[in-house]
Amino acid sequence: MSLRNFLPAALLAIAGVASAHADTLKSETEVRALTDKVMAQAGAGRTDDAYGVMAPYALIDVRALDAARVTARSSRMAIEAQVGSSVGYEFIRAEKVGESLLKLSYIEKTQKQAIPWQFIFYKTPTGWGVSAFNNGDNVDSLFDR
């Protein structure tokens, strides 16, 4: 059975959805510190807390992020049955496109499988915010083409 059956494809994009005012991060260093905090929670098996750390910086509709969090919470036991419990995380890479988009890629390490987490930040006039987020089982997406 594929891990895809259990993991939320929480690809959350701005896509014209209204959102409340998000907090922003002032530098790429702050962006990296935030995603490290998110991944520390994920790597400890606390997916719900990982989403909570990210939520204040979401440029997307917070309701969409909350829906993804609920899905992830309900999927967690099934995920662990498939790949084992979380045993940490690893930073993979940062990719910047122009001056306004930054993508950070990580893996949540489990006993049997790597789970990719990818964050896209957009630089607004007030600072960096999360414009899209994805976690799932497409490990191949992490390799250079």
| Residues 84 and 15 sit within 8 Å (Cβ to Cβ) | no
More confident residue, 67 or 125: 125
Task: Say whether domain 24-138 belongs to CATH 3.10.110.
Answer: no
- Non-local CB neighbours of 70 within 8 Å, separated by 6+ positions: none
Residue 37 backbone phi and psi in degrees, to 5:
-65, -40
Residue 130's pLDDT band (boundaries 50, 70, 90)? very high
| pTM (2 d.p.) | 0.81
Residue 112: pLDDT above 50?
A: yes
Cα 23-10-88 angle, rounded to 5 deg: 85
pLDDT at position 103 is: 97
Q: What does the angle CA 15 – CA 20 – CA 23 come to, to the nearest 5 degrees? A: 100
Q: What percent of the chain has pLDDT over 70?
A: 84
Integer-rounded Cα radius of gyration of the chain: 14
Kindly give the residue spans of alpha helices, DSSP state H, lying in the chain.
Answer: 28-43, 47-54, 62-83
12, pLDDT greater than 50:
no
Taking only the tens place, the pLDDT of each residue in 68-103 is 777 777 777 777 788 888 999 999 999 999 999 999
User: Domain coordinates of the chain in residue numbers?
Assistant: 24-138
